[in-house]
Chains A and B, each alone.
Chain A
Amino acid sequence: MKTQLKIALFLIFTNSLMLLLFGGSIYYFLYNYSYTDFYKRLETRATIAAKYNFDADKINAEPFKIIRKEHLEKLSAEKEYLYRVENNNDLAEMAQKSELPMAFLKEILNKGKATRQMDETFFTGIRHESKNQTHIVVVSAKNYYASNHLLFMRNVILLGVLLIALITTYLSFFFSRRIFDPIKHITDRVKQISKDNIHLRIEEKKNDAEISQLISTFNDLLNRLETSFETQNNFVSNASHEFGTPLTSIMGEAEVMLMKQRSPEEYQQSLMSILGQAERLNQITQTLLYLAQTGYTNKRVNFEILRTDDLIWQVKEMIDKLNPKNNIQVDFSLLPENPKKLKVMGNRQLLSLAFTNILTNACKYSNNKPVVVTIASSDDQVFLAFTDHGIGIPESELPFIYDPFFRASNTRNFEGYGIGLPLTRNIIKIHNGQLQLSSVVNEGTTVQIRIPLAKIP
């Protein structure tokens, strides 16, 4: 069932129930009241009848009669029964004459007062004592009010309940549609958006906080999707370009060599160049594989306790071998006194790969100007900062530096593929750390890394 219909039905049901309860209780209490009231009126009449019939000598009967005629309205089918009771036989006789039930008369005699309803006629009887004589006075009448007014009242209430229920039904449907229309609109709009027209957005609505929040959430999601789509598209084009370049040069080299007979030296030289290009291809695939592997966080990596300063020294030694001209300085002025504060949980290969990437980049893009590595640690994380004085990264290109194969516009004179930084960031992410990069063109770049300390008891 649609939510819209559910809400409408729920509203109709609860409203009708409340209306019925309201109308029903009004009718019920009024009904009860009218009966009690009517018996009281009959009792008054019986008392008056008894007074002027049996106490006539004590008071003047005539004014009584006049007052009664003038002020008491005649009830429909009003009847009076007056009897003198001397013994129990009188009661039986009385019952025969008046067709009143014996039990009713007995009750009057015993309790002094009784009421009874037979069909539409109501009876009230009282016992009257005067001059040592006992009388029973019964007044009967039809309750015109109950039979007519209450009926009318019931009809009015029923009609009202029905009418209001109709209006409620209409309003319930109207409101539930009003609530769900914008949602339906969003659904329709989102359905239209596919891979090909992901630039489309849902129009923002005013005066509707919840809905506009939903819309802006959707739009944000679409923005992120669009960016990641673009990144993916860029990745494919960049990757094919990176793979294409060495392949083209291998093919060109081979084609030139095959044009005519060559000397063995020439073949050797050309094969060497082909080998170099193939090695480059191999390196790219290796790094890409690493990138893919580190990108999936669900893959378990073996972690051990490592000392970050040790790692930095090892990396520095390795770079010293590969590039003896480097100028890496390790700054220990903030190194904590307690070596415990340098230990992190990490994977040795991955972390040294990350540090190697950052340090070789720092040396490469600064043409072996000094690179400073600062190590410090607070109470819960290790801080590493790698500062170089190289070419920097243009500010407008900073958002893209983590896209694979992206290379800044000022790196044309340097060899590289643009996979190192994304790989490094993936590695730091695996270690629950943070990597931040700030840079100013022609001034230098600082890479800050924070890795949580290992919890050693």
Chain B
Amino acid sequence: MERTILVPIDFKVESLNALRLALNTINAGKVNVVLMYAKIPTDSISDFLFYSPDEMVDSLMTTEFEEAIAILKNRYESLLGNISVELFHGYSANALSNFLEARNIDKIYFSKNYKLKPGKKGFDPTPLLKKSRVSYQEVGGESVVAERKTLSTLFNYFGLEIANH
């Protein structure tokens, strides 16, 4: 059975933990993943003229994030189909339901303990996603520290982690 899931991200390695935990709950089948980053649309006409989502994703992407995706791809090689990073511009529930419908999203996964920290002009789409008609699941929660660290210990987040809690 092939399905598509959606995980909101903020281009930080920690936000991919939700994906890892989500994949742990899925045992078989093929899973396509849409990583969604919510960004306030620009109000400048010239920006609209030269609007290119690929370039925008490239500028937000970090090497660490890319490597973390590669690690997850290798870990769940038989389970994972396609992973794509998509931008969502919009504020309304209708815009979001269009977005979800266009991509055939079956389920949305959130992390229970990690709150997204979007960058400049980005926003946290969690409340909007929770209101949508697509079902969602919150993953993780038993041990905050252990859950958060698994991926990020591989990258330079150790000092940050300690400082954050």
Contact = CB atoms under 8 A, between A and B. Distances in A.
Interface string A303-339: 0000000000000000000000000000101111110
Interface in B147-165: 149-151, 153-156, 158-159, 162
A187 B153 CA distance: 49
Interface stretch (A60-68, A76-84, A192-200, A374-382): A374-382
A438 B156 contact: yes
Interface stretch (A169-177, A283-291, A440-448): A440-448
Interface string A424-457: 0000000000001011100100101000000000
B154 A376 contact: yes
Nearest to A385: B153
A271 B9 CA distance: 66
B91 interface: no
A341 interface: yes
A334 B75 contact: yes
A294 interface: no
Contacts of A377: 71, 74
Contacts of A372: 153
B77 A379 contact: no
B76 interface: yes
B150 to A, nearest CB: 6
Contacts, number: 65
A140 interface: no
A383 interface: yes
B74 A383 contact: no
A443 B162 contact: yes
A336 B74 contact: yes
B151 A334 contact: yes
Given A334-B75, A376-B74, A448 B150 contact: no
A387 interface: yes
A333 B76 CA distance: 10
B78 interface: yes
B2 interface: no
Given A334-B71, A379-B70, A440-B162, A446 B153 contact: yes
Contacts of A436: 156
Contacts of B150: 331, 333-334, 374
Contact of A448 (B74, B77, B156): B156
Contacts of B75: 333-337, 376
B153 A341 contact: no
Contacts of B73: 379
A387 B77 CA distance: 26
A378 B67 contact: yes
A383 B77 contact: no
Nearest to A379: B70
Interface in B77-126: 77-78
Contacts of B20: 333-334
Given A376-B71, A379-B70, A337 B158 contact: no
A134 B153 CA distance: 118
Contact of A341 (B72, B74, B158): B74
Contacts of A378: 67, 70-71, 74
Contacts of B156: 436, 438, 448
Nearest to A448: B154
A443 B76 CA distance: 32
Contacts of B70: 378-379
A338 B74 contact: yes
Nearest to B66: A378
Nearest to A338: B77
B26 to A, nearest CB: 14
A137 B99 CA distance: 106
A387 B153 contact: yes
Given A337-B76, A446-B153, A448-B154, A383 B71 contact: yes
Interface of B: 20, 67, 70-78, 149-151, 153-156, 158-159, 162
Given A333-B20, A448-B155, 10 more contacts: A331-B150, A333-B150, A334-B71, A387-B149, A387-B153, A438-B156, A438-B158, A443-B162, A448-B153, A448-B156
The 10 A-B residue pairs with the shortest CB-CB distance in the complex, in nearest-first order: A336-B74, A378-B70, A337-B77, A385-B153, A376-B71, A438-B158, A446-B158, A383-B154, A378-B67, A379-B70
21 contacts: A333-B20, A333-B75, A334-B71, A334-B72, A336-B74, A337-B75, A337-B76, A372-B153, A377-B74, A378-B70, A379-B73, A381-B67, A385-B154, A438-B158, A439-B158, A440-B158, A440-B162, A443-B162, A446-B158, A448-B155, A448-B156
